[in-house]
Amino acid sequence: MPRIGRIRRAPQLDRRSPPGPLRLIGRRISHLPPPSVLALLYLTLVLIGAALLKLPMAHRAPLNWADAIFTSTSAVTVTGLAVVDTGGTFTPFGISVIAVLIQLGGLGLMSFAVLLLSALGVPIGMPHRIILREDLNQTSFANLMALVRLIVVISILAEALGALLLAFVFVPEAGLWPGLGQAVFHSISAFNNAGFALWPDSLTRYVGDPLVNLVVPGLFIIGGLGFIVIADLWEKRGWRKLTLHSKLMLVGTAILIVMGTVIFAGLEWRNPGTLGPLDWDAKLWASWFQAVSPRTAGFNTVDLAQAHDSTALMVMSMMLIGGGSTSTAGGIKVTTVAVLLLATVAFFRRTKDLQAYNRSLGPKEVLKVLALTTVSLLVVMTAIFAIAISHDGDFLDLAFEVTSAFGTTGLSRGSTAELDGVGRIVIMTLMFLGRVGPLTLGFFLATRSQPRVRYPEGQVYLG
């Protein structure tokens, strides 16, 4: 009698079966530190954007990989620096890709990460919620996802209104569909503080147009204030009920706008390369626009390459300050500068507590802003040194490009397209660090550790 072998069962997919590719990738991502996850997501988005821009249907002029990667990096980091003519190089499909990259980057670093991880089915663990809370300037985990949804709603509403108003300018000039496309693109670029324009001279042709000079700055002021401030204004509807963060942001922004407008007008009023040939009303519009735009917006209505050196230094300081936390803007943030000034005042008054609007700030906030400012200045100085090694051009122009890249501003004095491979790598790295770096540093500063050993206090002579 022949021996009957054991019947083999068909393989079944059970819990012990190897997971699918997406689940495996999701598990590996979930075990990475939150800063690594954010950097990886942004880098992936940059590469995807570059691949889409390299498609034949995305560009009408020759485009190499270096230019595609640079453009994608500038769009994802909402910077606006360009090495090619955006409107002349890319087709409507390529311009749409750039607009989508700007929108995804402008939603906010951790907000976009949460949306993407949720779409992949990756659970939002506690480390990710901690960094999300830090990014959104919250003290609890209760309403984080609701705030992310609020960010998306505010973005859509503001950009839709901006596109509708800009259409009254662009449609009569370019026609219905091209004009609507220009209005939508510039509305997205303005609200996200990206600074991408479809003309090589940015918005200089509209230097005296009241509608453009009101709508475009209005969009990047709202985007630069921060979604926390907007939500606070909407819910509390009164100055006394606003949080300390909102009050510092609103007052700081107003001071910077007024101071920038007055200084720019005073320095450039008779400059034949900028405000000199304009009528007095166009001079006022241009001064207002250039005072608001350096705080990471990136548009310009006059040729900044013709501005005085003193004006360039003022614009560089504005670019380094940037906008507000939980916003589409970059820089070290307005509240950081406010806390530094409050700490300076407290030092001269010989007081230990920082006070503003009947609220106090502890030493933890001071140490955090000191660390952020110090690291930012070191990064900018190192980048200027690195880019100056291979470029012996105008030092001020190189420093201007570096500051613009780190502040994710996008303003340029004409040196971006002249950079070689090393210079472009430095600028791309700065754009990436300007968007990812402050949040990564904030994550490590938010991680508390109690020292096991305490040493006796020492004395260091300062000043």
List, for residues 180-199, the tens digit of each pLDDT value: 999 999 999 999 999 899 99
Contact status, residue 172 vs residue 165, Cβ threshold 8 Å: no
459 located within any domain: no
Mean pLDDT of 409-419: 86
Contacts of 208-214 with CB under 8 Å at 24 or more apart are: 208/278, 208/279, 208/281, 208/282, 208/285, 208/286, 209/169, 209/285, 210/285, 211/165, 211/166, 211/168, 211/169, 212/166, 212/169, 213/285, 213/288, 213/289, 213/301
Higher pLDDT, residue 393 or 312: 312
Q: What is the average pLDDT value for the chain, to the nearest integer?
A: 83
453 located within any domain: no
372 located within any domain: yes
14 pLDDT more than 50 = no
List, for residues 283-307, the tens digit of each pLDDT value: 999 999 999 999 878 899 999 999 9
**Residue 36's domain spans which residues?**
22-446
330 pLDDT more than 50 = yes
List, for residues 359-383, the tens digit of each pLDDT value: 888 787 888 888 888 888 999 999 9
Q: Using 50, 70 and 90 to split pLDDT, how confident is the model at 7? A: very low
pLDDT of residue 450: 61
pLDDT of residue 120: 56
Nearest CA among 106, 49, 65, 62 for reference residue 88: 62
List, for residues 226-244, the tens digit of each pLDDT value: 878 888 887 776 788 888 8
69 pLDDT more than 90 = yes
pLDDT of residue 140: 52
163 pLDDT more than 50 = yes
Dist. CA 360–CA 99, nearest whole Å: 42
Sort residue 414 into left (φ over 0), alpha (ψ -120 to 50) or beta: left
Contact status, residue 421 vs residue 66, Cβ threshold 8 Å: yes
Q: Which of 28-42, 319-333, 423-437 has the highest mean pLDDT?
A: 423-437
Mean pLDDT of 48-62: 95
424 located within any domain: yes
Angle formed at CA 302 by CA 300 and CA 305, multiple of 5 degrees: 95
Higher pLDDT, residue 112 or 150: 150
pLDDT of residue 256: 94
Q: Using 50, 70 and 90 to split pLDDT, how confident is the model at 113? A: low
pTM of the full structure: 0.86
431 located within any domain: yes
What residue has token string 């693109």? 185
Residues 6 or more apart in contact with residue 32 via CB below 8 angstroms: 40
15 located within any domain: no
335 pLDDT more than 80 = yes
457 located within any domain: no
Q: How many domains does the chain have?
A: 1
**Worst-scoring range by mean pLDDT, 52-66, 67-81, 99-113?**
99-113
2 located within any domain: no
Q: Using 50, 70 and 90 to split pLDDT, how confident is the model at 86? A: very high
